[in-house]
Amino acid sequence: MQEGRVLPAKEINRDLLRSILTTPNWYWVTVAVMAIIVLGAMSAAGLMINRGMGMTGLNRPVMWGFFIVNFVFWIGISHAGVMLSAILRLSKAEWRRPATRAAEVLTVFSLMTAVMMPLIHTGRPWRLVYWVYTLPFVPYDFARGIWPNIRSPLVWDPSAIFTYLTSSILFVMVALIPDMAVLRDRTTGIRHQAYALMAMGWQGTPRQWKLQIISGILLSALILPVFVSVHSIVSWDFGMAVAVKSWHSTIFAPYFVVGAVHSGVSAVVFVMILLRWIYGWENYIRHEHIDALGRLLIVVATGWFYFFVMEVIFGFYGREADEIAVREFQFTQPPWNLWFIFFTGLTYFLPVSLWLFKWTRRNLWIMSIACISVNIGMWLERFLIIVPGLAQKQMFTFTWYTYAPSAVEITIIGGTFAMVTLLMLLFSKVLPLIPLYDIKEGDMLKTEIKIGRATVPAVFRED
């Protein structure tokens, strides 16, 4: 049984469209600040592309650094959308309703941000045409008989990511159609025309509803294998590298997928708490939702922790001297061991102990702290996977070195966070971040009527 009262449809429309139909003062200030940070990061990237990759802190043994760490991080965040939306829709979890849209939109925007990272990382993004042939509007130059190398994980990557991006955009759009129609009916002028175009003639007829529901469920089921494949393939960027001892591991695929869900769902919880606060959606994003997500996160975090421990054990189990040397380097030598302690504490021990009690799960401040801590920890996790194995403990000691990020790299990383925030803010100005029809449907299922002495649900859902 859900908490909270049943709201009239009018009130739902008024509350959830508030972000679109009115503009508070803080909104433009925040947008401006974020846009300035993004512009700063773009200038930094421009400077780097102009001068060369020497502007970064990368060097000969450490050829991959902050950009790839950030790429994996944002791909990880993007896994929240499907986890919350598709899995919970298929399993008919009622409490998913206010969370789905924000999660899906976060998926799309973080994927877009993630895709930019490898292009910035290569230093000459116009060479994209040789690499990302999967884009339909980029013709691949087959005329000279030169083909992409399908053995390379870096060719699997764009294939998986663009499939995921396409399907998650489709997923969001299908769910948006009824809400577009609501907006079409409440706006005038050019906005009305734009919403009318996007609503694609939605009238709310039973046939349209049926098609919309079926396509939503179909897309949920179809997107799940893509969801699992994306981070598996990203993990194979590392798993397939024979020469880097701490990367060359078979457990990376499930480990990365669960880690992605861990950081992604945490990010969604934080975004929901923010939305509740800034738009005053106390009636929609309720404590019970945060509570349920907190309980889900305990399971996900513990699953992730299992794979993390297993990954370490597999490393030692092989008894390969080089691999053990890298592990020893990660666990015992400063500053890596300090980062390692931070990472395990922030990713598992601190947040999970905060999620264990009902009163902590229902305290929004504590939940925010736990979810931010998970994301800092998961960022560190990717850093600790990628850099130490490259930096040292190769078989020839002559090339050992270390890595420190440059100001350009840090600026660009900061810019990606500002960019996702900016895109989310702009989206909230144009389209509702909580699905109106889904909330109404949930309320409908919640309504009870009295028949004689018995209280029964007013509506039964066909299964």
Partner 1 sequence: MVTQRVDHKWGMVVDLDRCTGCQACVVACQSENNLPINTKDLFLQRRAYEWIRIERYWEGEFPDVKARFIPIMCQHCENAPCEPVCPVFATYHNDEGLNVQVYNRCVGTRYCANNCPYQVRFFNYWEPVWPERLRNHLNPDVTVRSRGIMEKCSFCIQRIRRAEVTVERRERSNLDYATMKKRNFLPACVSACPTNALNFADQADASGPVKEYFDDVNEHPHNEAHDRKTRGYRLLEEMGTKPNVIYLKKVDPFPLRKGVGHGS
- DSSP per-residue letters across 420-448: HHHHHHHHHHHS-SS-HHHHHHHHHHH-E
Q: Sketch the per residue contact string, 17 through 56, with partner 1: x for CB under 8 A, - otherwise.
A: ----------------------------------xxxx-x
Element spanning 457, H or E = strand 454-457
The dihedral over CA atoms of 96, 79, 433, 448, expressed in degrees to the nearest 10, equals -10
- Residue from 30, 43, 122, 360 in contact with partner 1 (CB under 8 A): 122
- Residue from 243, 404, 407, 459 in contact with partner 1 (CB under 8 A): 243
**Shortest separation between residue 393's beta carbon and partner 1, angstroms:** 12
Q: Sketch the per residue contact string, 299 through 318, with partner 1: x for CB under 8 A, - otherwise.
A: --------------------
Q: Is 147 near partner 1 (CB under 8 A)?
A: yes
Q: Is 399 near partner 1 (CB under 8 A)?
A: yes
Shorter beta-carbon distance to partner 1: residue 46 or 225: 46
Q: Is 388 near partner 1 (CB under 8 A)?
A: no
**Shortest separation between residue 398's beta carbon and partner 1, angstroms:** 4
Phi, psi of 117 (to 5 degrees): -60, -50
Shorter beta-carbon distance to partner 1: residue 386 or 424: 386
Beta-carbon contacts of residue 346 (< 8 Å; ≥ 6 apart): 373, 374, 376, 377, 380
Shorter beta-carbon distance to partner 1: residue 54 or 457: 54
- Residue from 91, 188, 397, 455 in contact with partner 1 (CB under 8 A): 397
Q: How far apart are CA 129 and CA 327, in angstroms?
A: 38
- Residue from 97, 121, 286, 393 in contact with partner 1 (CB under 8 A): 121
Q: Is 396 near partner 1 (CB under 8 A)?
A: yes
Shorter beta-carbon distance to partner 1: residue 171 or 329: 329
Q: Is 360 near partner 1 (CB under 8 A)?
A: no
Q: Which stretch binds partner 1 (CB under 8 A): 93-101, 328-336, 395-403, 426-434?
A: 395-403
For partner 1 (CB under 8 A), the number of binding residues is 43
Joined tokens for residue 294: 């907190």
**Shortest separation between residue 281's beta carbon and partner 1, angstroms:** 43
Beta-carbon contacts of residue 257 (< 8 Å; ≥ 6 apart): 79, 228, 231, 232, 235
Q: How far apart are CA 121 and CA 300, in angstroms?
A: 31
**Shortest separation between residue 401's beta carbon and partner 1, angstroms:** 5
Pick the closest to residue 23 from 439, 437, 430 (CA basis). Answer: 430
Q: Is 319 near partner 1 (CB under 8 A)?
A: no
Q: How far apart are CA 402 and CA 141, in angstroms?
A: 39
The amino acid that residue 49 corresponds to is I
CA angle, 401 then 116 then 80, to 5°: 100
Pick the closest to residue 422 from 32, 70, 21 (CA basis). Answer: 32
Shorter beta-carbon distance to partner 1: residue 40 or 61: 61
Shorter beta-carbon distance to partner 1: residue 128 or 366: 128
- Residue from 146, 214, 221, 407 in contact with partner 1 (CB under 8 A): 146
Q: Binders of partner 1 among 223-242, rule CB under 8 A?
A: 237, 240-242
Pick the closest to residue 410 from 112, 86, 48, 94 (CA basis). Answer: 48
Joined tokens for residue 194: 């734009």
Q: Which stretch binds partner 1 (CB under 8 A): 205-213, 265-273, 393-401, 444-452?
A: 393-401
Q: Is 153 near partner 1 (CB under 8 A)?
A: yes
Q: Is 195 near partner 1 (CB under 8 A)?
A: no
How far, in Å, are 1, 34, 183, 278, 420 from residue 18 at the CA level? 28, 22, 11, 11, 21
- Residue from 69, 75, 155, 385 in contact with partner 1 (CB under 8 A): 155
Shorter beta-carbon distance to partner 1: residue 240 or 298: 240
CB-based contact 275:423 (threshold 8 Å):
no
Shorter beta-carbon distance to partner 1: residue 63 or 356: 63
Alpha-carbon 58 to chain mean position: 26
- Residue from 81, 118, 239, 432 in contact with partner 1 (CB under 8 A): 118
Q: Is 160 near partner 1 (CB under 8 A)?
A: no
**Shortest separation between residue 71's beta carbon and partner 1, angstroms:** 12
**Shortest separation between residue 334's beta carbon and partner 1, angstroms:** 20
Residue 111, SS3 per DSSP: helix
CB-based contact 78:107 (threshold 8 Å):
yes
- Residue from 151, 207, 453, 461 in contact with partner 1 (CB under 8 A): 151
Q: How far apart are CA 112 and CA 426, in angstroms?
A: 15
Q: How far apart are CA 36 and CA 42, in angstroms?
A: 10
The dihedral over CA atoms of 386, 390, 392, 397, expressed in degrees to the nearest 10, equals 170
Sign for the pseudo-dihedral over CA of 176, 181, 187, 193: positive
Binding residues for partner 1, per CB under 8 A?
51-54, 56, 58-61, 63-64, 118, 121-124, 127-128, 130-131, 146-149, 151-155, 237, 240-244, 390, 394-399, 401
